[in-house]
Amino acid sequence: MGAATPQDNHTARLSDRLDTSVPHPARRYNYWLGGKDHFAVDRHSGDQIAAVYPAIRTLARENRAFLRRAVRHLAAEAGIRQFLDIGTGIPTADNTHEVAQAVAPESRVLYVDNDPMVLVHARALLTSSAGGVTAYLDADLRDPESILGADELRATLDLSRPVGLILAAVAHFLTDADRPHEAVARLVEALPSGSYLALSHVTTDFIPAEIVARMTAEVAAGRMRQDGVPRSRAEFARFFAGLELVEPGIVPVTRWRPEVPESERPSLAEASVYVAVARKP
Ligand SMILES: C[S@@+](CC[C@H](N)C(=O)[O-])C[C@H]1O[C@@H](n2cnc3c(N)ncnc32)[C@H](O)[C@@H]1O
């Protein structure tokens, strides 16, 4: 037998990281969205959360719809042609490059995620329209320098021109010890004036107190795994320090440039997510 090739080593590392014994946020989100890329452990975790907060699938769909509306806004109205989408998720409908390139085929997108399952599916993200570019980087939001210093970033994005930084439903996977505000601020710092930040983040602000209390009790009893950190409006607002909020500012997800009347939208309790888009002056 010959020596292991770099490809063999990479594949081995990948399978080490593809742990099917613990739930992964990307796979669980895919389950809630009705996708096919999840394991029993993810479905179990997803069902445990849904048993306490049955609206979780609605929340996931509304978050995904915000991502689409925000990217379309940036491409169509703000003229953004480069996107850095961190916390990409497993490819599904309306991936960032599809939405942006439907408006402007020359759009360039760098996707970043730290989940090996997303890496496995990255090829599906690399189907750029002719004239545009998509690339994928296996990296972690907790280490912004590993993103900013990556060859993939330099090859895909021109940091002398505005970039749309997309952080949809990812910052809540960073604990306070991970310093999420500092990580986002570092990324924004590296982008030129005229760039945008679009960010969505789970909160418990709109969830009835009895449901929040039940979730807390389930986690404390070890029956539910807490791998997300809901944040308050004030904590959410800190992500946008020094930036100019685009109308309608910081709002619950269903109220950001909605496409259907309020009577057709879920209640705030069913989609307890803060969102905002802001411009770097
Ligand atoms: C709930 S999904 C959101 C997917 C997509 N952004 C959306 O809004 O539809 C969260 C994604 O963030 C990724 N993620 C979680 N923590 C991360 C980290 N520290 N660095 C990079 N990606 C992370 C997960 O692997 C997952 O793919």
* Number of domains the chain contains: 1
Atom of ligand 1 nearest to the CA of 117: 25
Distance 213 CA to ligand 1 centre (A): 26
Distance 38 CA to ligand 1 centre (A): 15
Q: What is the CATH number of the domain that holds 108?
A: 3.40.50.150
pLDDT at 10 (0 to 100) = 52
Distance 3 CA to ligand 1 centre (A): 35
pLDDT at 13 (0 to 100) = 67
List residues near ligand 1 (CB under 6 A).
25-26, 29, 63-64, 67, 86-89, 113-115, 118, 140-142, 168-170, 173
pLDDT at 234 (0 to 100) = 98
CA torsion, points 220, 224, 229, 233, in degrees to nearest 10? -90
Nearest Cα residue to atom 24 of ligand 1: 26
CA torsion, points 46, 48, 51, 55, in degrees to nearest 10? -30
pLDDT at 223 (0 to 100) = 87
pLDDT at 19 (0 to 100) = 81
Distance 227 CA to ligand 1 centre (A): 12
In a domain, residue 39? The reply is yes
Cα distance between residue 67 and residue 191, in whole Å: 20
In a domain, residue 1? The reply is no
pTM, two decimal places: 0.94
Distance 87 CA to ligand 1 centre (A): 3
Of 190, 175, 179, the closest CA to residue 227 belongs to 175
Residue numbers of the chain with a pLDDT score lower than 70: 1-15
The preferred substitution site among 62, 173, 197 for testing ligand 1, maximizing ligand atoms within 8 Å of CB, is 173
Nearest Cα residue to atom 27 of ligand 1: 89
Distance 4 CA to ligand 1 centre (A): 31
Q: Which two structure tokens, joined as six digits, stand for 195?
A: 């760039």
DSSP-assigned letters across all residues of 4-52:
PPHHHHHHHHHHHH--SSS--HHHHHHHHTT-S---HHHHHHHHHHHHH
pLDDT at 20 (0 to 100) = 83
Distance 8 CA to ligand 1 centre (A): 26
Residues, the chain: 281
Q: Could you read off the pLDDT of 223-250 as tens digits, one per residue?
A: 888 888 999 999 999 999 999 999 999 9
In a domain, residue 258? The reply is yes
The preferred substitution site among 96, 113, 172 for testing ligand 1, maximizing ligand atoms within 8 Å of CB, is 113
pLDDT at 4 (0 to 100) = 47
CB 259 within 8 A of CB 69: yes
Average pLDDT score, the chain? 93
Atom of ligand 1 nearest to the CA of 29: 1
Nearest Cα residue to atom 13 of ligand 1: 87
Domain that holds residue 123: 6-279
Atom of ligand 1 nearest to the CA of 118: 27
Is the torsion defined by CA of 187, 188, 190, 191 positive or negative?
Answer: positive
pLDDT at 12 (0 to 100) = 53
Q: Could you read off the pLDDT of 129-145 as tens digits, one per residue?
A: 899 999 999 999 999 99
Atom of ligand 1 nearest to the CA of 166: 6
